[in-house]
């Protein structure tokens, strides 16, 4: 298998980060959300998760750049928060000094050459879902020459049966280019290969979208859904768990049209999810049918809108988008 060492290291890192996040979410009454400059909440879990993942990657691949969502600035200004993050990180990794933890988090915030090989990490994708006790994902991907070649989604609250959303057993989805997509259930060594569904028409389809209307244009999504003949209510979940839902057949379509034309998606919000869907037989493009380009910096600068489908409904959905939007 290609990227065997990379996959083993990345799976280990995401599993450790998932344990940390589960522990913090269970003690959610004690979690303090801090407001970043962009007003989105960040917690001990975000910072601890990124620290663990970056420490593991640096140990095995010290020359690989890492692009992450968080930086350690807020920890340097808050001794109590710094202590909390340090304590919970050291429960999962070999003893790391506070200074090393801060350095590991900050590595993801630096400038890197993204035209070659690099990792991109979202330590908690769907922080608002995490704070509500709902869906979130720990997302890690390896990008080589602008193409995602490995992706992992740790979804601690996810259940493969969407009819049991409150019975989240926890799933780890992962994919390597050309090797298919697999899922393992939390606490089990068993892995199962998964595939997107075979739905070809709207009456049998279900689509995913963000819970937060501020993250995506629900009204436009409904117009697209109606034009496709979809009658089932939208499957609204937070984070890249939406990609997991398409990959395992819980949904046929994932739509994301930003609220403003100027907005560009962050690469860490889609890298891991995109390969998980594609290796499960699905397809991922922007609303113009272009592949997502991960080589242009920290955003998908040339891509507007995200469409992930089972593959069979992709062109039909693109045609409807072109007519409706």
To which H or E segment does residue 255 belong?
strand 253-256
Options 3.30.70.2340, 3.90.180.10, 3.40.190.80, 3.40.50.300; CATH for 202-324 is: 3.40.190.80
Cβ atoms of 104 and 54 closer than 8 Å: yes
Which residues in 121-160 are b (16+ Cβ under 10 Å) and which e? Answer: bbbbbbbbbbbeebbbbbbbbbbbeeebbbbbbbbbbbbb
Averaged over 306-313, what is the pLDDT?
Answer: 97
Q: Where are the domains of the chain?
A: 4-194, 202-324
CB burial of residue 193 (10 Å; 0-12, 13-18, 19+):
exposed
Check residues 110 and 137 and name the one with the higher pLDDT: 137
Cβ atoms of 151 and 271 closer than 8 Å: yes
| Catalytic (active-site) positions | 46, 127
pLDDT of 163 strictly over 80: no
* Predicted local distance difference test score (pLDDT) of residue 38: 62
- What is the rounded distance in angstroms from the CA atom of residue 71 to the CA atom of residue 48? 11
Check residues 34 and 295 and name the one with the higher pLDDT: 295
**What are 224's two structure tokens?**
């697209």
Options 3.30.420.10, 3.40.50.300, 3.30.540.10, 3.20.20.60; CATH for 4-194 is: 3.30.540.10
- What is the rounded distance in angstroms from the CA atom of residue 255 to the CA atom of residue 225? 9
* Predicted local distance difference test score (pLDDT) of residue 210: 87
* Predicted local distance difference test score (pLDDT) of residue 3: 96
**pLDDT band for position 187 (cuts 50, 70, 90):** low
**pLDDT band for position 165 (cuts 50, 70, 90):** very low
**What are 283's two structure tokens?**
């397809």
CA triplet 111, 116, 119: central angle to 5 degrees?
Answer: 65
Which residues in 274-297 are b (16+ Cβ under 10 Å) and which e? Answer: bbbbbbbbbbbbbbeeeebebbeb
Structure confidence by residue, pLDDT tens digits, 274-295: 999 999 999 999 999 999 999 9
Q: Name the one residue in this structure whose structure tokens are 């045609």.
A: 319
Averaged over 204-221, what is the pLDDT?
Answer: 82
């Amino acid at each position: 298998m290609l990227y065997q060492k990379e996959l083993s290291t990345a799976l280990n890192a995401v599993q450790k980060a998932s344990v940390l996040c589960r522990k913090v979410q269970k003690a959610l009454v004690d979690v303090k959300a801090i407001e970043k400059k962009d007003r989105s909440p960040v917690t001990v879990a975000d910072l601890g998760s990124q620290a663990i993942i970056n420490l593991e990657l640096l140990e095995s691949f010290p020359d690989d750049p890492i692009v992450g969502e968080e930086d350690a600035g807020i920890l340097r200004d808050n001794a109590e928060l710094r202590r909390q993050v340090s304590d919970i990180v050291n429960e999962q990794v070999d003893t790391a000094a506070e200074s090393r933890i801060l350095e590991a988090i900050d590595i993801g915030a630096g400038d890197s050459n993204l035209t070659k090989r690099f990792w991109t990490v979202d330590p908690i994708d769907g922080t608002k879902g995490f704070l509500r006790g709902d869906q979130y994902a720990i997302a890690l991907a390896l990008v080589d020459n602008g193409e995602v070649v490995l992706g992992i989604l740790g979804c601690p609250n996810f259940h493969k049966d969407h009819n049991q959303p409150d019975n989240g057993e926890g799933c780890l989805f992962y994919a390597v280019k050309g090797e298919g997509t697999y899922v393992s259930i939390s606490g089990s060594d068993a892995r199962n290969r998964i595939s997107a569904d075979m739905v070809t028409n709207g009456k049998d389809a279900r689509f995913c979208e963000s819970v937060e209307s501020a993250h995506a244009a629900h009204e436009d999504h409904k117009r697209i859904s109606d034009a496709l003949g979809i009658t089932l209510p939208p499957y609204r979940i937070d984070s890249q768990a939406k990609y997991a839902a398409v990959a395992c057949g819980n949904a046929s379509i994932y739509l994301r049209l930003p609220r403003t034309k100027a907005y560009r998606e962050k690469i860490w919000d889609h890298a891991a999810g995109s390969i998980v869907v594609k290796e499960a037989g699905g397809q991922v493009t922007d609303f113009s049918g272009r592949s997502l380009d991960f080589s242009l910096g920290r955003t998908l600068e040339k891509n507007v809108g995200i469409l992930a489908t089972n593959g069979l409904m992709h062109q039909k959905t693109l045609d409807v988008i072109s007519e409706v939007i």
